């Protein structure tokens, strides 16, 4: 039960209680006036709490709207009314002693007060942060939380979610943050300054802040510029049908006056499919530059296993160094999220699996030019009789592959050099992937490197420091402690 459903449940409960109390008062039941007054005070209080928790909401219209538009909301409203059904005892109870009447009225009043206080406590004083394991599986590495965007409680309510990381040639670390408020979503790019702020966290310097930096699911930095893979929502009517516009864009941010703030935005790649339904999370995701300056873009598919509606859906795209030409580099992906050049200059990506009734496993793929990786025709290790490329690695259990990084930093122990590192969102861990080149491909070994809560992305500096974003509104640093 999230906060919205909790408000639906509690609101329906106190409204039902208030109506029952009004009927009891009309029937001149003992102490009904006191109970009715308290019930309506509870309704007013819950309405106020709802407006604070979900800005702009109004309790009664919101309940009616939610019941019509969402089956799940209807269930929570119905559940709230059902649990309030004992209030009907006030209406239909038979004659009773004065003592029993007072006791019953006291119990009803305590129920109202307790329900309202508990809801207020959950909204204004969150119970506690969810306890997750934060641990390094190699004692030579430390794991430290360095950024907390408001506390690891309800990131969707708090309104700040760190998404992607990028590190440039000078080891400057950049972080994209998705913001949500009363009206819409917006975005921000910050630089992580390695000096402690007053609260003991790493200092954040905002270098770009705009409502148009919406859904920044890809980030790259080089030559003093920031590259953002972003998308929006737009549908137009076309010959009687509503169709999504291609809102996916890669935007270059520049600092023309050299004051450390990005003040010039330029779209260098446009007309990517972007966000489309029903799976609007699957858009243009990670971006990475190749050795010749070419830009690679991961583009997802907006459905589970349906036919593609855009020729760039489920593709790794390649933009020429001057961004004037876009070509399909590889095909057959569902939602490629992480993208990086790794061992021997190879291009690697993580790809999220299908969800219809089973979990074949997320994929780690070595991307070959012109190859097809199976979606939507096959999944897992099925190569369709040799027609499709197979993944290097499949996730297991609750694992869910997200961001990916690669390092050859000489500052790290030898066994940690030349490895891929995957942010495993579902299993709350970072995997270290060792790739040993064989005659027929790679032999892959995967082991848990560190445990962190719900990691989204990972990046590593040339000096060997790892940075990880977490869906809990946190950023972690993993550092090798030299002897």
pLDDT value at position 379? 84
Q: How far apart are CA 317 and CA 270, in angstroms?
A: 12
pLDDT value of position 14: 77
Taking 90 as the threshold, does the pLDDT of residue 88 lie above it? no
Higher pLDDT pick, 296 / 80:
296
Mean pLDDT (whole number) for 339-352: 95
Instruction: Give the pair of three-digit tokens for residue 212.
Output: 């148009």
Range scoring the smallest mean pLDDT among 90-94, 235-239, 330-334, 412-416: 90-94
Binned at pLDDT 50, 70 and 90, residue 55 comes out as low
Per-residue confidence at 47, pLDDT binned at 50, 70, 90? confident
Please, which pLDDT band fits residue 186 given cuts at 50, 70 and 90? confident
Q: Is the pLDDT of residue 169 over 50?
A: yes
Average of per-residue pLDDT across 447-453: 96
> What is the average per-residue pLDDT within 271-292?
90
Q: Mean pLDDT for the chain? A: 84
Q: Is a pLDDT exceeding 90 seen at residue 178?
A: no
Percent of residues, the chain, with pLDDT higher than 70: 82
Q: What is the DSSP string of 354-416?
A: --SSS----EEEEE-TT-B--TTT--TT--TTTTS---SEE--TT--EEEEEEE--TTS-GGG
- Least confident span in 155-169, 229-243, 290-304, 337-351: 155-169
- Share of residues in the chain with pLDDT > 90 (%): 50
More confident residue, 37 or 56: 37
- Residues 306-311 have a mean pLDDT of 84
- What mean pLDDT is predicted for residues 286-295? 96
- Least confident among 80-94, 227-241, 344-358: 80-94
348 contacts 420 by C-beta, under 8 angstroms: yes
Contacts of 427 (CB under 8 A, 6+ apart): 395, 397, 398, 399, 400
What pLDDT, on the 0 to 100 scale, is given for residue 30? 64
Task: Look at residue 276 in the predicted model and tell me its pLDDT.
Answer: 86
Question: Which pLDDT score is estimated for 157?
Answer: 41
pLDDT over 70 at 181, yes or no: no
Q: Describe the crossing of helices 59-69 and 71-83 by its angle, rounded to 10 degrees.
A: 130
Is pLDDT of 164 > 80?
yes
- Residue 202, pLDDT score: 86
46 to 124, 222, 230, 388: CA distances (angstroms): 12, 50, 38, 56
The predicted pLDDT at position 153 comes to 42
Contact indicator for 115, 87 with CB cutoff of 8 Å: no
pTM (two decimals): 0.74
Angstrom CA distances, 13 to 9, 39, 40, 57, 107, stand at 6, 10, 12, 18, 16
Least confident range from 54-63, 328-337, 455-464: namely 54-63
Top pLDDT among 154 and 375 is at 375
Checking if the pLDDT of 348 tops 90, the result is: yes
Give the E-state strand segments of 105-238 in sequence order: 135-136, 141-148, 160-167, 173-180, 185-196, 202-210, 218-222, 225-230, 235-238
pLDDT tens digit sequence for 375-425: 989 888 899 999 999 999 999 877 899 999 999 999 999 999 999 999 999
Q: What is the pLDDT, as a whole number, of residue 152?
A: 44
């Amino acid at each position: 039960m999230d906060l919205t459903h909790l408000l639906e449940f509690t609101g329906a409960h106190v409204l039902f209680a208030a109506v029952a109390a009004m009927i009891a008062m009309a029937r001149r039941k003992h102490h009904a006036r006191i109970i009715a007054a308290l019930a309506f005070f509870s309704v007013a209080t819950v309405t106020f709490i709802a407006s604070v928790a979900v800005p702009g909401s109004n309790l009664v219209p919101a309940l009616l709207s939610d019941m019509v538009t969402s089956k799940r909301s209807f269930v929570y409203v119905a559940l709230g009314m059902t649990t309030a059904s004992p209030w009907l005892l006030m209406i239909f109870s038979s004659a009773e002693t004065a003592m029993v009447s007072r006791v019953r009225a006291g119990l009803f009043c305590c129920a109202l007060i307790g329900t309202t206080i508990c809801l207020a406590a959950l909204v204004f004083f969150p119970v506690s942060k969810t306890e997750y394991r934060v641990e390094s599986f190699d004692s030579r590495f430390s794991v430290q939380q360095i950024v907390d965007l408001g506390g690891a409680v309800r990131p969707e309510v708090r309104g700040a979610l760190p998404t992607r990381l990028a590190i440039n040639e000078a080891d400057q670390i950049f972080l994209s943050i998705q913001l949500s408020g009363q009206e819409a979503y917006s975005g921000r790019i910050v630089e992580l300054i390695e000096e402690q702020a007053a609260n003991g966290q790493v200092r954040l310097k905002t270098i770009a802040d705009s409502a148009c930096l919406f859904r920044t699911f890809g980030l790259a930095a080089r030559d003093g510029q920031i590259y953002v893979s972003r998308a929006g929502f737009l549908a137009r009517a076309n010959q009687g049908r509503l169709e999504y516009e291609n809102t996916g864009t890669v935007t270059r941010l520049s600092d023309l006056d050299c004051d450390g703030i990005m003040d010039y935005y330029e779209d260098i790649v446009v007309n990517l499919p972007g966000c489309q339904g029903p799976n609007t999370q699957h858009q243009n995701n990670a971006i990475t530059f190749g050795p010749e300056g070419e830009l690679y873009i991961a583009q997802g598919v907006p459905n589970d296993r349906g036919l593609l509606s855009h020729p760039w859906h489920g593709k790794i795209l390649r933009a020429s160094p001057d961004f004037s030409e876009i070509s399909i580099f590889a095909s057959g992906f569902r939602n490629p999220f992480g993208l990086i050049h790794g061992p021997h200059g190879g291009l690697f990506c993580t790809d999220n699996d299908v969800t219809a009734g089973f979990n074949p496993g997320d994929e780690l793929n070595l991307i070959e030019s012109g190859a097809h990786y199976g979606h939507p025709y096959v999944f897992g290790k099925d190569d369709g009789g040799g027609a499709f490329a197979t993944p290097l690695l499949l996730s297991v259990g609750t694992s869910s592959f997200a961001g990916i990084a690669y390092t050859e930093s000489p500052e790290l122990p030898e066994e940690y050099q030349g490895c891929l590192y995957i942010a495993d969102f579902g299993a709350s861990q970072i995997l270290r992937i060792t790739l040993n080149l064989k005659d027929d491909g790679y032999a892959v070994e995967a082991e848990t490197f560190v445990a962190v809560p719900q990691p989204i992305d990972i990046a590593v500096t040339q000096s060997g420091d790892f940075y990880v974003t977490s869906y809990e509104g946190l950023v972690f640093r993993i550092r090798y402690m030299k002897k």
